[in-house]
Each structure stands twice: as structure tokens, then as C-alpha cells.
Amino acid sequence: MFTSVERLIALRNLKPKRKEGFLKVISIFSFVGIMLGVAILIIVMSVMNGFRTELTNKILGFNPHIIIKPYDDKKIDLKFKNQLKKNFTDIQVLDSYSGEAVVINNDYAKGIMIKGMDPNNEKNSIFLKKIIVEGKTFKIKKGEIVIGKELAIELNLAIGDKINILSSAYISTPFGGLPKQETYSIQGIFSSGFYEFDKSVVFLSLSETLHFFNKTSRDINLEVYLSNPLKADEIKEKIGIINNNFYAYSWIDLNKSFFSALKIERNVMFIILTLIIIVAAFNIISGLTILIKNKTKEIAILKTLGLSNNSIVKSFFLTGFTIGLIASIFGIIIGVVFSENIEAIRVFLSYIFNVEIFPSDIYFLDEMPSEINSFSVMIIFIFSLVTTSIASLIPAITISKMNTIKALKYE
């Protein structure tokens, strides 16, 4: 593609003479700008991808993929469950019930979500075994409760302590209706890695949950778990066709605005950070423009010796493209290495400057996530090369308009 003469001219252009030191400074700024632009873009995209993946995994690990609730006085019976298992072979169906309540401890009140779990279901036992960090209650019994780590810290609770919970249901008394209140013994503390869940969710047995909210078996919901959670909306529509007496919604419905916001933020960050590469590309344009202006005589002599306009354009284009190519490669290396070790770097910077860089109560995660997507890296690399190619070609094309006679007139 490039002849040895064109490569030689490009190499000499990359090594300006001492009197052309200003060109060297511009080349260095172009190189550093593109390198940092590519590196920062990869780091930010990796963190954004990591956020999406981690939050999705936390949400999917903690919540069912589809929830089916009965309308009015309809009851989810065994016949409907068998219909689901018959039509969808790769799903798991569990009974559940959830409701909001208030935990009261030492004059402190806090709103929580109670999730009722069937202790006889193996999937529930496996799930609890996976997330419990204190205690050994993988099958919740009557009078027992499992709470999150953050809630335990906030209320200063430990295994064996008692906890009072105020229900949204009422009981009749001679003085009128009063909120129902129950006391439970803490038999397990879990850590999901999702700050909000660890702070606001507790587990009771399904029968205890129904009793606590004054509900019956007619109020039980179905939790559906899929082998591929991304098909939740598709399966939800099919469930509605099988039986439209029940209301079904998916985890995607519950978190649609959240993930849409993440996607928009990622796209906006990509657009903003690409400006770094574009600005650095302008340095290539200005550098090559000055270089061509300073080498007008040499270019005219090369033309006189028989070197074609096309070859000279290609040699100066190669000069700028080489800067962009090497800078992009170094930027990818720095970006990938930084992304792979971003949590260690965060911990180090937090220790050095004594500042919490990634507070879990704001970002919902214990660690700064990072996921390097090879496709995203390739897109960034191609974008960088295209930008630097255009930036290198614009000033190089002006060489073809140069008048050789005028350039050598006073030599």
C-alpha cells in the first residue's frame, strides 16, 4: 500500500529537525491526546457495562423473572401451574407473597419489604444458602426471620436478637383497628452485594408472611424463573394467552426506566468523551499543516525529481496516521489494564487520599464494577483510526494543489 520511499518520507517527518521543535511538541500533544481519549473512553465504557451487568445480576439473583398475581377473587390453582410447566419446559414456578411493613427497634422505625418464601422448596433453600453470611437457617421456620447485613448494622442486631415488625394489616380491638405487630427471632443475616436490598428486604416463611398480612392461600403469587431471563417479556405475553385471568409482569417491566437511564447515560458519555479524540485530531491537522508549510521547498524538489503528487500525499497522510495508530494502540493497552484493575486502583486512591471514591450507599454496589467488552473496544479503536485518518488526509490533500514553480522560484 505504501512504497519504501513514502514510508521513508513519513519516518523523517516524524523526526523533525531541532529548529522544528514546535512540530515535535504538537506531535506529542496529538499522541497524548488520542491515547488518553481512547483509554478514558474504554475505562468509562467498561465501568458502564460493569454497572449494567452487576445490577442486572443482582436484580435477577434477588427477584423472580416473572411475577403472576391473581385478579380479584381468582386463585392460582394447581391446574394453572401444570399448564405453565406443560407449555414451558425450562421454567421453575414458586409460591410467594411480598408486602411492606415497618421494623421497630429501640425507638427507631424503618420501612422494609417482607418476602415470604416456601421453606420446603429446594430452590429457596439453595438461594438462602448462597447469600447467608451469618447463621445457618436455610429453611425459615415459624417465628424466625432472615435480615440483610446493612439492616443488621443499622439497627445493631445480631443472630438470636428479637425484632419487632409492624404490619400494614389491622386487627380489631375494643378501641378500634390497630396495626398488627409481631416479634421474630433473627436466625440468619444475608448479604446480596446490593446495598438497597441488604438494607430494606427481610425473609419470612410463606405461611408466616400470609399470617402477618392477614392473607390466605388465595392471595399467593407465583414467581417464575427462566433459564434465559432476557426472554421474560416474550414468556409473559405467552402466559397471558394461556390464561388471562391472572396479571403477569416481568423484571424488565419493574426496572425499565432504570436500565433506560443507564443506556442513555452510557451513550451520552460516549459522545462526550469522543470529543477528546476529535480535539486531539485537530492537533494532527495543525501539526501537518505547519509541517507541509515548512517543507514546501522539499516537497517541490521531490516533485521535480519525479515523485508523484499521490505518493507525496500518501507519505504525509502516513505521518499523521502513524501518530493516530500508535496512540490508539497505547490507549487500548492503558484502558484495558486500568479497567482490569479498577477496583484495586479505587481502594489504593481511597487509602492515599482518605476519601470514599465509590460509596456503596449511593451506587448500590460494594465494589466498582468493570466489564471489558471486546466489541466496544473495537468500535473505539476503529473510531479513533477513522478520526485520525480524516485529520491526516485533510492537510495532506493540499499538497496536490501546490505550484512547484512558485515553490522553487526564489531558491
Contacts of 68 (CB under 8 A, 6+ apart): 76, 221, 222, 224, 239, 246, 247, 248
Q: How far is the CA of 243 from the CAs of 68, 74, 88, 238, 385, in angstroms?
A: 11, 12, 14, 9, 55
Query: Mean pLDDT throughout 72-91?
Result: 75
Same-domain status, 98 and 51: no
308-340: pLDDT as tens digits: 888 888 888 888 888 889 999 999 999 999 999
Q: Assess whether 200 and 267 both reside in one domain.
A: no
| Residue 174 confidence (pLDDT) above 70 | no
The more confidently predicted of residues 302 and 289 is: 289
pLDDT of residue 343: 85
73 part of a folded domain? no
Same domain membership, residue 316 and residue 267: yes
Whether residue 78 is contained in a domain is answered as: no
Task: State CA 264 to chain mean position distance.
Answer: 12
Least confident of 12-26, 29-43, 213-227, 329-343: 12-26
191: helix, strand or coil:
coil
Q: Has residue 68 been placed in a domain?
A: no
Q: Are 279 and 34 in contact (CB under 8 A)?
A: no
Both 192 and 134 in a single domain? yes
236 inside domain: no
Residue recorded with cell 514546501: 296
Predicted confidence band of residue 104 (pLDDT cuts 50, 70, 90):
confident
Residue 202 structural domain:
91-226
pLDDT at 409: 59
Residue 330, pLDDT score: 95
Listed residue (289, 269, 268, 271) closest to 30, CA to CA: 289
Residues 47 and 175 in one domain: no
Q: What is the model's pLDDT at position 74?
A: 67
Residue 167: per-residue pLDDT: 86
pLDDT for 332: 94
Indicate whether 27 and 107 sit together in one domain.
Answer: no
Nearest to 357 by CA among 40, 39, 38, 47: 47
Residue 378 predicted with pLDDT over 80: yes
Cβ pair 333, 377 in contact under 8 A: no
Tell me if 116 is assigned to some domain: yes
In a domain, 320, yes or no: yes
Q: Which pLDDT score is estimated for 137?
A: 65
Share of the chain above pLDDT 70, in %: 89
Is the CB of residue 80 less than 8 Å from the CB of residue 246?
yes
User: Taking the alpha carbons of 254, 258, 262, 265 in that order, is the dihedral positive or negative?
Assistant: positive
Q: Which residue has the cell 409473559?
A: 236
Q: Are residues 284 and 377 in the same domain?
A: yes
Domain assignment present for residue 189? The answer is yes
Answer yes or no: do 266 and 368 share one domain. yes
Q: Return the C-alpha cell found at 359.
A: 460509596
Question: Which set of grid coordinates corresponds to residue 79?
Answer: 391446574
Kindly state whether residue 314 falls inside one of the protein's structural domains: yes
Residue 9 has pLDDT above 80, yes or no: no
Which of the residue ranges 65-74, 159-168, 273-282 has the most confident prediction, judged by mean pLDDT? 159-168
Classify the C-alpha dihedral 60-66-71-73 as positive or negative. Answer: negative
Same domain, 339 and 206: no
pLDDT, position 406: 62
Of 226, 246, 278, the position where a domain reaches its end is 226
Q: Say what the pLDDT of residue 203 is.
A: 92
CB-CB contact of 99 with 168 (8 Å): yes
52 and 142 together in one domain: no
Domains identified in the chain, total number:
2
Which ranges of 88-189 would DSSP assign to H, the alpha helix?
122-131, 149-155
At residue 411, the pLDDT reads 54
Q: Residues 116, 222: one domain?
A: yes
Residue of higher predicted confidence among 89 and 285? 285
How many angstroms separate the CA atoms of 140 and 389, rounded? 64
User: Averaged over 149-157, what is the pLDDT?
Assistant: 89
Same domain, 306 and 215: no
Lowest mean pLDDT among 75-89, 131-145, 207-221, 358-372: 358-372
Q: Quick: pLDDT tens for 222-234.
A: 888 888 887 888 8
